Structure formats: structure tokens, C-alpha cells
């Protein structure tokens, strides 16, 4: 299982990549996709909508489970991965690449400070097991 | 005990293998003060033969459509059931199976439900149907809750010409929610729900308008005009059908602007059975499928690439979404849906339409015969299908029905029970089971009631 | 030409359709036939039912007979689906339910013409009350979940009646999904309470979540781990002390008949699943029947009508001003009641007790004989079912799903899997009392054989079923939903 060093993580199994200025990309981790199994459906917010840190922003479903997606940051949704909505199964193949979910313009970069590093996240999921 | 194979020796052997001396040791977690000390106070066991004779006697304490000529409908219709229906539904591979959680050994029930969903879509002209709900009444309640979920609105507008027990069921289902129910009164002349009456009560933000057609009085509603009103306020249009045979000749809900079509499928091969089990059906437009309650069967493939079926979109349901599920329904009316499939296959495209015409013809015949007695007159002016309301003149409906009963005729339902203002009215249903001779006897009986 | 394969994919009834064929035609119309246009305006009429099938009777029979052979029922073989109580469905009950005196009875017939039906319902209410230790029973709910909903609504009505509505219902983490779903539907908020280390509820964890806004604790006893909630008395005393009610989901009542009464445990409301405990068939997913029993204090809130008996005459009583109303039209799934009534009369008090006793012995026997092969999360005497996990087999990449599918190859229906949720990779096995010791032994042998395969040749298990119909792609069905047939073009 992979947990790229350049990403930040949440205990709800989302990852965050800082793109440029105040834009971040959000997705779910390798561990999350593996626990879910075959992902079959994803619900994401509309472009232009807002997301709030620690609040649900979407839903990811496998055949026999459903999980809320919790936003790691607050801000405005600048872009939504429409291709992922069309073909949710790509999450199982490339959770950190093609299966990114939303790009958010964040209100305050400080919000990123309390997110987990790769090592911290790996330690967290070891304990959770 | 013939349903339990174990002999005393079997039980002793098993207890020994478990490593206990007695059953009591297995029950050590059950506190002594909750244990049953005396045998249960129930009748002594009967042999199979004794059971049959007792139950035959109890059943003979009922009189049925076999003993009386019956003209009762009101949400439960006495139709002929073709023989193949009983034979297929009686196959124990079907009736002794559980909900098809394991699709590899449940293709029989799964494919038949897929066929059922298709048949309901064809009849209602909707996009997608679920695998069944409990009955017509609870299906209406589920539709109302679904409409609230889709629109995010609270006001539910019910036509007062919907089956009274369906409306009562909606009220019970909504007890715990934040919905507000308003009823729109039927037109006393036409017996139907009028668009301008809906306009007056629906407010700015109705969640839905619910109308039954043919309605409880048997009257056919002008669905298209009602759809227009509710849609202009951004609400959903829910159409209820309690006599689904009418769908064979009446314009289907989907062509009249319905967003959700629900109803009772009992007429399709399910016996009267004193009110249940019946078959709640629900169909809607594709865009609302994820808001639907109940099971859905979808088409897929197996590892050999063959076409197969399985339960699908299950994340809507209670076993996965738990307190946020679209409904709490789990066990539904699977076998009643299979019954409907085989029934509809037997009647077929032409047969069903022909049967509907026979029902209509007979109802019109009886209506005219009753009018000719000059003791009954139509209660309302709207067109009807196989059920109609009559106003009784010169005698009370109760007296009329009791005279008919003495002559072996159950003449219909006195409406006073549900509509105090219709104290002189009765509801009469006619199906292919009512012979011309029965109808003549009915008309003669009416004359003798005065 | 290919040889017929019973497991080939079957055409749909629509694909068998040929224009002009007819199954069973309606009988001749003995009054003058009338054009619908003569009495109904054209704008209200349709001209066809597009796509509706035209098939002859022999084709219909063969089509559905072939489909039935792809279906596994209790009559086919062992069906150890946990918490579903797939016991044998006595044939005589089917015969009885088809008596014309039941089958052709209209629900609105005058009461004097349905005294037999009302008597049967009245007596069945009494029997269920006796089995459970409750004071009053309604037969109206159509299935277990509707029974839960009914019970919760009566609780809500009770509190509202006193002007003090309560908003919370506590549900253990082992509960069936219907419990929290019914809770929400009834307008309550479901609050989860964790099961203790020993697989049962403890008073201490309950106290952490219980308060005086809690209307009820909704538990299942025995719970879905198959364990008796042995602190039930202290728990219900405490709930009562806090002014709340104890609701018991009766899904697992097959463990208790003649052994323990819920009423004695402080339970105030229970729903019965006649299609589990009382032997009525599940019908491929219904119809069921979910009567509700309550203590006296809740009786005024039960749905209408109530059945009354006075001088050997039975009546329907709608005059219940505090009733929650109706959950459905008419009186419930009557023919299911007929079968449950017949079952109770056939079994008698000793028979019901023996059913529960043997169900418990069968479950403990399976538990003891498999616990060295499969991981048993809670090792103590169980009631009528037991729960294993795939912990040992998952080391070889074999999951509960694989084991379930491999059981199909051995001719068994799989257990309930991945439930209860608190056991990772759960397999919940409920043998019931109607399986012979020999059948149980065969099942145990198959489970042991699958474990051996998991270690030695895991691919065989992972590719199961290998005979009959191969593993079905459930993910594909969700990704591209096709929920109906749409003409010979296929499509969805």
C-alpha cells in the first residue's frame, strides 16, 4: 500500500495535495479504496459550491458499503473530477492520480497544518486495524 | 415431532460432542428468573389429520365469494386466477427461498423480479419499478416520504378521493416526521379531484400532490390537468392505482405527468385472502431511482460472461445505510410479485386488455340495470371503469345491503363508514367473476328492498 | 447445435413473445361488449401495452419451471442463513391456507360472514402473547420491519400522550439495519451503544448513552452474535427507572419458545417474525408477517382495528382514539397468519419448546465442531446461532465471501455474511431445529474441507462457485444499472 510523502492525510482517509497558491486537490487514500472494495458510485459537490472542514462533501459507495467523504479543508470547489463520477472504478486503480475528486480554493492555508503526514497516517491506520 | 428429525439418542450424542451433560448447561446465560417454569398455556398438539379438520371447520365459519355473489371491491378485487399461476407459485424452489442475497443460487426469483419490474414499467409507462412494497396503502406512504426527500419540502396534498385506509396509512407513516398533510376535497358532483381545488390548498411549496385513479369512488381522474397544477408549483405528482387492471385500458400515469406511480397489485393473480398478503408496487422516473425505497434487481453478467441478475443499488437500503436509509423495508412481497408476473404472462398483451374491456362492459351493464330500478342512481357524473358509486333512494343503504345479503348477494360497501356525507351511497364493483345472472338477481333484489 | 445446459442464461418472458400467442384467455363476456370509448373520453384511454408479452401456456410453464430450477430453497437443501430462521415450511400449512374459506374472503365482508377468520386471528394473538409473555398483540404489520416501526410509533404516541415527547432510541452496534432505519422513520434519533467485550450489552456502557430524552432501548435477544443478553434484567430495570421502554426485536425468538419469556425480562414491546419463528415460507423475499406484542400500558396505541371477542362473537373495533392509526390497508397478511396458527396448533406447547431446544443444540454442535477450524470471536455457549470469522483463512487470501461461494459448490446455501458488523468478515450460522444431525455433519465436513482448500489451493475457493452458475458481478450491476428490459435492442 502506498502513501506518497508529498501528501497530507486525514483520519477519515482523505488525502490533500497542495497545487499552487491556495488551490488543493482532495481524494481518498489507497487504504480507503482497499477497505471499500470495488467502488461503484461517487457523489461529489457542484463546481462553485463550498466545502467545510470536517463536514461531509460527498459519498463513496461500494456494492455493500457507503461512506461519507469528509472535507479536509474549507473553501470553494473550483473543479470536480467528472470522469471519476462516470467511472468510479478508477479509484481502485489510481487513488492518488486519476481518481482525484475535487480541487478546492482554500480560505486559510493554516487549515493544512493539523493534517497528518504520511508517516503519521500510516501509524494511525496500523493502530486502527 | 415430525418437523424435528432428532431422536433422543441423536440429542444425547450431540450434547456429548458439545461437551455438556444436558441442554440446561447450554442455557446457563439465561437467568433463572426469566425461565419458563410451567409449560406454555397453549392447546395440545394436533396430528396432521386433526389439524386439517380443525382448520377446515374454522374456514367453514367464513362465507366467501364462493358462497355469495359479491360486488365488493374498494381496494380488493375478486378476479379469476388462471391455473398456471398457482402451479408456478406453488413450486417450492420459489416459495421456500429467502430474499435473493446469493445471486448464484437465486436466478429464478431474480429474473422473475426483473420481469416484474419491466411489466410494472410497461403498465405504468414509467422508467423504473422496484421489487415490491407491502401493499397499496404503505406504497403511497413510501411515495410521499420519497417525494419529501426529493423536493426537500413539507406540504403533502392528498386527494380525499384516495382510499380512506391509504390516507390513514399515510398519516400513520408521517407521525414521526415534519410533514404537513392537507386534503383536497373531491367535487361532490363529479366525484373527482379538481385542479382549481388543488390550487387553493397546495400553497407555494408543496412536496407532492397524491391522486388515485380510478379513485375510491371508481371515478377516473383527469390526471393530466392535475399534473400541470402541481408541477407549476414545483411539486411532484404521485398517482395511485388500487385496481391495476384499469391500466390495461386507461392512459398510464407516466403519460399523464406522474413522477411516482404506486398502487396495489392484488388484482394480478393474488387471492382476496381477507386483505393480505397483497402487492405494493412503485415506479418512478430514472432520475429518482436512488431515492426509491425497497429492493431493485439489475442485470449483470457472471464470470463466464452470461447474462445474470442480482439485487442492486443496495446502498439505499437499511442493511447498509441504516438510520439514513430510504426506507426500513426488508422483507417485501416477493412471492406476490412472482404471482403477478405469471398472471400477466398468462393474460398477455391482448388478454389483459380484453379482460379490462369485459370488466368495463359488465360494470356498465350493472350500472344501467340498477339505474333502471329507479331506486339507485349514479352518485357522481364522472366516467368509471369496473367500480362505481350509487346513491340509494327510498331505502337506506344498510337496509338495501341487508335485503341483498339475505338473497345471497353482497351488494357492495356502504360509504357512510368512510364518508359521513355519503350516507346514502354505496360502492359497487363488478369483475369477470360476476355473471349476468348474478347481476339480474342483484337488480331484482333491489326492487324487493323497497 | 449446442446441448442444453440447465445453467445457461435464460431468455426473458418478453423475448419468448410472438405476436398472436395467448396464455389463458378470459372467458366470454356474457353481456353486450362495450367500446371503452362509449363511456370514457378518448384522452383518458391508451391503445396498447407496449412490450407486454404474448406467450402460450406451455411456454409459460416451461419458462418459469426452468427458472425455478435455478433457485435454492429450504426444500432444496440446508439454508443456514443467520437470523433468518430458514426452518422447514410444513406442507399441510400451505394446503390449509388454500382453503376457499380463507382464500376467497373479502376484507370488507360483513363481520358475520368472516367469524372463522376473526376467530383465528384472535386466537393467534392470544398464542403469541403467551409465547412472549406480552399482554396484547396486533397482527397488522406486514413484516418484521413494519412491526418495528409499529412498536416505535406506539412508544412515541405514549410519550406524546403525556405531553413529554422523547427523541432518542438506543440501538446496539450488533442490531439489524432495520432497527436504526425504523427508528429514523418513526421520528427518533438512533444512538448506538457498543457491545461489551463478552459480546453482550453491559449496564455501564448503556448508562453512558441513556438519558431522560431516551424513549427506548431497542435490542435483540438473543443478540445477533447468538448470545443471550444475560444482563437483561438489570438493563431493563434501569431503562424503566429512566422512564424508557425496552423494545425487543423478535427476529431471534426461535431460541426462546417455552424456554424464557420476554415479558419476564422486562421487555415492553416485541415484534414477531411469523416467517421465521413460526415456519411460514419466506417466498423469495416475502410475504412475511410482523405482529407486535406489548405490555398493557401501550395497548391503547396499537393500530386499528382491534379484534374483540364477546360471547363467542368476534368483532372489529375501530374505536381506539389513542391508536397510531393504520400501517397498511385491511388487517395484515392474513394467509401468513393462517400458516403460523396451523404451526402452533400442530406443535403444541411441548413442540415449540422442543423446536427451540433442538435449534440451540444444533447451533452449539456446529460451534463446537468448527471452532478449531474457524475463528470464533466469542467462545461461550450460544443460543440458536453462532458467528465465526474468516481471520484464519484470510491469511491465505481467502475471504468470507469466497467461503460462502464455495459452500454453494458443496450444495449448501451460505450463512449470513459480513453481519453483525462488529465482527470483521462475519459468518453467521443458524441451523434451525429442522436439520437432521446427518445434514449438520455434512455441512461441518464441507466447512472443514473448504478450510483445507483455503490453505492448500486457495484459488479453488476464490473462484467458487465452480459448478453451476459462476460468480456474479454485483459491482457491474451498480456501475451500469439496467433495471428493466427495453426491447430486443437490449439497453437500459
User: How confident is the model over B296-345, as pLDDT tens digits?
Assistant: 999 999 999 999 999 999 999 999 899 999 999 999 999 999 999 999 99
Contacts of B140 (CB under 8 A, 6+ apart): B162, B166, B169, B170, B210, B238, B240, B262
Quick check: A6 and A117 in contact, CB under 8 A? Answer: no
**pLDDT given for residue B2 in this prediction:** 84
* A101-A107-A110 Cα angle (round to 5): 95
| Euclidean distance between CA atoms C137 and C376, whole angstroms | 37
Average pLDDT over residues B231-250: 98
How close, in Å, is residue A70 to chain C by CA atoms? 21
Q: For chain A, which residues score pLDDT lower than 50?
A: none
Residues B178 and B156 sit within 8 Å (Cβ to Cβ): no
- Whether residue A65 lies within 8 A of chain B, CB to CB, comes out as yes
Please tell me what DSSP assigns to residue B274.
G
Hey, what CATH class is B69-79+356-448 in? Answer: alpha beta
Residue-level pLDDT at B66: 83
Interface contact B314-A63, CB threshold 8 A = yes
A66: nearest CA partner in chain B: B315
Q: What confidence score (pLDDT) does residue A129 get?
A: 67
Q: Any idea which architecture A8-112 has in CATH?
A: Beta Barrel (2.40)
Nearest-angstrom CA–CA distance, C113 and C11: 46
> Per DSSP, what are the bridge partners of residue C193?
C172
Alpha helix locations (H) across C186-328?
A: 203-209, 232-241
Q: List residues of B whose CB lies inside 8 A of any A CB.
A: 314-315, 320-321
Establish if B291 touches chain C: CB-CB under 8 angstroms: no
Q: C408 near C464, Cβ under 8 Å?
A: yes
pLDDT digits (tens, 9 = 90+) for B186-211: 999 999 999 999 999 999 999 999 99
- Min distance A37 CA to chain B CA atoms (Å): 14
Q: What is the dihedral of CA B123, B125, B128, B134, to 10 degrees?
A: -40
**Confidence band for B1, pLDDT divided at 50, 70 and 90:** low
Q: What does the mean pLDDT of chain C come to?
A: 96
Residues of chain C with CATH 3.90.1150.10: 356-476
Q: Please indicate if any CB of chain B lies within 8 Å of the CB of A129.
A: no
Distance CA B115, CA B118 (A): 5
Residue ranges of chain B assigned to CATH 3.40.640.10: 83-343
Mutation choice for A interface testing from C479, C480, C481, C482 by most A CBs within 10 A: C479
pLDDT in tens, B48-80: 999 999 999 999 999 988 889 999 999 999 999
Residue pair C379/C406 in contact (Cβ under 8 Å)? The answer is: no
Fold of B83-343: 3.40.640
Q: Which residues of B touch A69 (CB under 8 A)?
A: none
Neighbours of C, requiring at least 3 CB pairs below 8 Å, are A, B
The residues near C260 (Cβ < 8 Å, ≥ 6 apart) are B30, B34, B35, B36
Does residue B393 carry a pLDDT above 80?
yes
Of C418, C474, C479, the CB nearest to A89: C479
Tell me how far apart the alpha carbons of residues B269 and B340 are, in angstroms, rounded to a whole number: 6
- CB-CB neighbours of C324 under 10 Å: 26
Q: Pinpoint the residues of chain C covered by CATH 3.40.640.10.
A: 92-346
pLDDT at site B400 = 98
> What does residue A17 show for φ and ψ, rounded to 5 degrees?
-120, 130
Q: What is the mean pLDDT of chain B?
A: 97
pLDDT of C2 reads 59
Cβ separation of A40 and C418 shorter than 8 Å? Answer: no
The DSSP bridge partners found for residue A28 are A14
How close does chain C come to B201, measured CA to CA in Å?
A: 24
If contacts are CB pairs under 8 Å, which of residues 121-180 in chain B contact chain C?
Answer: 121-123, 127-129, 131-132, 134-138, 145, 163, 165-166, 168-169, 171-173, 175-177
d(CA A66, CA B232): 35
Fold for C92-346, please state it: 3.40.640
Which pLDDT belongs to residue C490?
41
Beta carbons of B320 and A41 less than 8 Å apart = no
Structural element, H or E, at residue B309 = strand B307-311
- Encode pLDDT of C153-189 as tens digits: 999 999 999 999 999 999 999 999 999 999 999 999 9
A85 contacts chain B (CB < 8 A): no
Kindly indicate whether the domain formed by C356-476 is annotated with CATH number 3.40.50.300.
Answer: no
> Which positions of chain C have pLDDT values less than 50?
489-492
pLDDT given at position C489? 46
In this predicted structure, the answer to whether residue B135 has a pLDDT above a threshold of 80 is yes
For residue C30, the model assigns a pLDDT of 97
Give the separation between CA C284 and CA B102, rounded to whole angstroms.
Answer: 11
Cβ C107 vs Cβ C332: under 8 Å = no
pLDDT at res. C208: 97
A45 has a chain C CB within 8 A of its CB: no
Q: What is the pLDDT of residue C491?
A: 38
Amino acid at each position: 500500500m502506498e502513501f506518497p510523502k508529498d501528501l497530507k492525510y486525514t483520519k477519515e482517509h482523505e488525502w490533500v495535495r497542495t497545487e499552487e497558491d491556495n488551490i488543493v486537490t482532495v481524494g481518498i487514500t489507497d487504504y480507503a479504496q482497499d477497505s471499500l472494495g470495488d467502488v461503484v458510485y461517487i457523489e461529489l459537490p457542484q463546481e462553485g459550491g463550498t466545502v467545510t472542514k470536517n463536514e461531509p462533501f460527498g459519498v463513496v459507495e461500494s456494492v455493500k458499503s457507503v461512506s461519507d467523504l469528509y472535507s479536509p479543508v474549507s473553501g470553494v470547489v473550483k473543479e470536480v473530477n467528472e470522469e471519476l463520477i462516470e467511472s468510479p472504478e478508477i479509484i481502485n486503480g489510481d487513488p492518488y492520480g486519476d481518481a482525484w475528486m475535487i480541487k478546492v480554493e482554500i480560505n486559510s492555508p493554516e487549515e493544512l497544518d493539523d493534517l497528518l503526514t504520511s508517516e503519521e497516517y500510516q501509524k494511525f491506520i496500523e493502530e486502527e486495524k | 415431532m415430525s418437523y424435528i428429525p432428532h431422536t433422543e439418542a441423536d440429542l444425547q450424542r450431540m450434547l456429548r460432542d458439545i461437551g455438556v451433560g444436558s441442554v440446561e448447561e447450554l442455557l446457563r446465560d439465561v437467568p433463572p428468573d426469566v425461565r419458563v417454569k410451567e409449560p406454555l398455556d397453549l392447546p395440545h398438539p394436533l396430528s396432521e389429520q386433526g389439524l386439517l379438520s380443525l382448520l377446515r371447520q374454522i374456514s367453514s365459519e367464513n362465507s366467501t365469494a364462493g358462497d355469495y355473489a359479491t360486488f365488493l371491491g374498494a381496494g380488493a378485487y375478486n378476479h379469476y386466477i388462471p391455473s398456471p399461476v398457482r402451479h408456478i407459485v406453488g413450486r417450492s424452489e420459489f416459495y421456500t427461498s429467502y430474499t435473493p442475497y446469493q445471486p448464484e443460487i437465486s436466478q429464478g426469483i431474480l429474473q422473475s423480479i426483473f420481469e416484474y419490474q419491466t411489466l410494472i414499467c410497461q403498465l405504468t409507462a414509467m422508467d423504473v419499478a422496484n421489487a415490491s412494497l407491502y401493499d397499496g396503502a404503505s406504497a403511497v406512504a413510501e411515495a410521499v416520504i420519497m417525494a419529501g426527500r426529493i423536493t426537500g419540502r413539507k406540504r403533502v396534498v392528498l386527494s380525499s378521493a384516495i382510499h380512506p385506509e391509504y390516507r390513514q396509512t399515510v398519516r400513520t407513516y408521517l407521525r414521526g416526521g415534519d410533514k404537513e398533510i392537507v386534503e383536497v376535497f373531491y367535487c361532490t358532483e363529479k366525484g373527482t379531484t379538481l385542479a382549481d381545488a388543488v390550487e387553493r390548498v397546495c400553497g407555494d411549496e408543496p412536496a407532492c400532490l397524491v391522486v388515485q385513479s380510478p379513485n375510491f369512488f371508481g371515478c377516473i381522474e383527469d390526471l393530466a390537468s392535475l399534473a400541470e397544477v402541481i408541477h407549476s408549483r414545483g411539486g411532484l405528482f404521485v398517482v395511485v392505482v388500487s385496481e391495476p387492471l384499469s391500466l390495461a385500458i386507461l392512459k398510464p400515469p407516466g403519460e399523464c405527468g406522474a413522477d411516482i406511480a404506486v398502487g396495489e397489485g392484488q388484482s394480478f393473480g393474488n387471492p382476496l385472502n381477507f386483505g393480505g398478503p397483497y402487492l405494493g408496487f412503485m415506479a418512478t422516473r430514472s432520475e429518482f431511482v436512488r431515492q426509491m425505497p425497497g429492493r431493485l434487481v439489475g442485470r449483470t453478467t457472471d464470470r463466464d460472461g452470461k447474462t445474470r441478475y442480482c439485487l442492486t443499488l443496495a446502498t439505499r437500503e437499511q442493511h447498509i445505510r441504516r438510520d439514513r436509509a430510504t426506507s426500513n423495508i426488508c422483507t417485501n412481497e416477493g412471492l406476490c410479485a412472482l404471482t403477478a408476473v405469471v398472471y400477466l404472462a398468462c393474460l398477455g398483451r391482448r388478454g389483459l386488455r380484453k379482460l379490462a374491456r369485459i370488466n368495463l362492459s359488465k360494470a356498465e351493464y350493472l350500472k344501467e340495470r340498477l339505474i333502471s330500478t329507479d331506486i339507485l342512481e349514479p352518485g357522481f357524473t364522472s366516467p368509471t371503469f369496473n367500480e362505481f358509486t350509487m346513491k340509494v333512494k327510498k331505502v337506506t343503504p344498510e337496509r338495501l345491503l341487508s335485503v341483498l345479503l339475505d338473497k345471497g348477494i353482497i351488494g357492495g360497501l356502504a360509504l357512510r363508514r368512510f364518508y359521513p356525507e355519503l350516507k346514502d351511497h354505496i360502492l359497487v364493483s363488478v369483475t369477470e367473476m360476476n355473471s349476468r345472472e348474478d347481476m339480474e338477481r342483484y337488480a331484482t333484489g333491489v326492487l324487493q328492498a323497497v | 447445435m449446442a446441448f442444453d445446459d440447465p445453467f445457461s442464461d435464460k431468455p426473458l418472458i418478453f423475448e419468448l413473445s410472438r405476436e398472436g400467442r395467448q396464455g389463458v384467455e378470459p372467458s366470454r363476456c356474457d353481456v353486450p361488449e362495450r367500446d371503452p370509448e362509449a363511456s370514457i373520453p378518448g384522452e383518458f384511454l391508451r391503445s396498447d401495452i407496449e412490450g407486454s408479452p404474448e406467450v402460450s401456456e406451455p411456454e409459460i410453464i416451461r419458462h418459469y419451471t426452468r427458472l425455478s430450477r435455478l433457485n435454492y430453497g429450504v426444500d432444496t437443501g440446508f439454508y443456514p442463513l443467520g437470523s433468518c430462521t430458514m426452518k422447514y415450511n410444513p406442507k399441510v400449512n400451505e394446503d390449509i391456507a388454500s382453503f376457499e374459506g380463507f382464500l376467497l374472503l373479502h376484507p370488507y365482508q360483513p363481520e358475520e360472514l368472516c367469524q372463522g377468520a376473526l376467530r383465528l386471528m384472535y386466537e393467534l394473538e392470544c398464542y403469541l402473547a403467551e409465547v412472549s409473555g406480552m399482554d396484547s398483540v396486533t397482527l397488522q404489520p406486514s413484516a418484521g420491519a413494519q412491526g418495528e416501526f409499529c412498536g416505535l410509533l406506539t412508544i412515541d404516541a405514549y410519550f406524546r400522550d403525556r405531553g413529554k415527547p422523547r427523541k432518542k432510541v438506543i440501538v446496539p452496534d450488533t442490531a439489524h439495519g432495520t432497527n436504526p432505519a425504523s427508528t429514523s422513520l418513526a421520528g427518533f434519533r438512533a444512538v448506538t451503544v457498543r457491545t461489551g467485550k463478552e459480546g453482550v450489552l453491559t449496564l455501564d456502557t448503556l448508562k453512558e448513552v441513556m438519558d431522560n430524552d431516551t424513549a427506548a432501548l431497542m435490542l435483540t435477544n438473543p443478540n445477533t452474535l447468538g448470545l443471550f443478553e444475560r444482563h437483561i434484567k438489570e438493563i431493563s430495570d434501569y431503562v424503566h427507572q429512566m422512564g424508557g421502554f425496552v423494545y425487543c426485536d423478535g427476529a431471534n425468538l426461535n431460541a426462546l419458545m417455552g424456554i424464557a419469556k420476554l415479558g419476564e425480562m422486562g421487555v415492553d414491546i416485541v415484534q414477531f417474525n411469523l416467517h421465521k419463528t413460526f415456519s411460514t415460507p419466506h417466498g423469495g423475499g416475502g410475504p412475511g408477517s410482523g405482529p407486535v406484542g406489548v405490555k398493557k400500558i401501550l395497548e391503547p396505541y396499537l393500530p386499528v382495528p382491534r379484534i374483540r371477542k364477546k360471547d363467542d362473537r368476534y368483532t372489529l373495533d375501530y374505536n381506539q382514539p389513542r391508536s397510531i392509526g393504520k400501517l397498511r390497508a385491511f388487517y395484515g397478511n392474513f394467509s401468513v397468519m393462517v400458516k403460523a396458527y396451523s404451526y402452533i396448533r400442530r406443535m403444541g406447547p411441548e413442540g415449540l419448546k422442543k423446536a427451540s431446544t433442538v435449534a440451540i443444540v444444533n447451533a452449539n454442535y456446529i460451534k463446537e465442531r468448527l471452532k478449531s477450524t474457524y475463528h470464533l470471536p466469542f467462545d461461550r455457549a450460544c443460543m440458536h446461532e453462532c458467528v465465526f470469522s474468516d481471520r484464519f483463512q484470510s491469511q491465505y487470501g481467502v475471504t468470507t465471501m469466497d467461503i460462502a461461494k464455495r459452500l454453494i459448490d458443496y450444495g449448501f446455501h451460505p450463512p449470513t455474511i459480513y453481519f453483525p458488523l462488529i465482527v470483521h468478515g462475519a459468518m453467521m450460522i443458524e441451523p434451525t431445529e429442522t436439520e437432521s444431525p446427518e445434514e449438520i455433519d455434512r455441512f461441518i465436513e464441507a466447512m472443514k474441507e473448504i478450510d483445507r482448500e483455503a490453505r492448500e489451493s486457495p484459488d479453488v475457493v476464490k473462484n467458487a462457485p465452480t459448478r453451476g452458475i459462476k460468480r456474479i458481478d454485483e459491482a457491474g450491476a451498480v456501475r451500469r444499472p439496467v433495471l428493466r428490459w427495453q426491447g430486443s435492442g437490449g439497453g437500459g
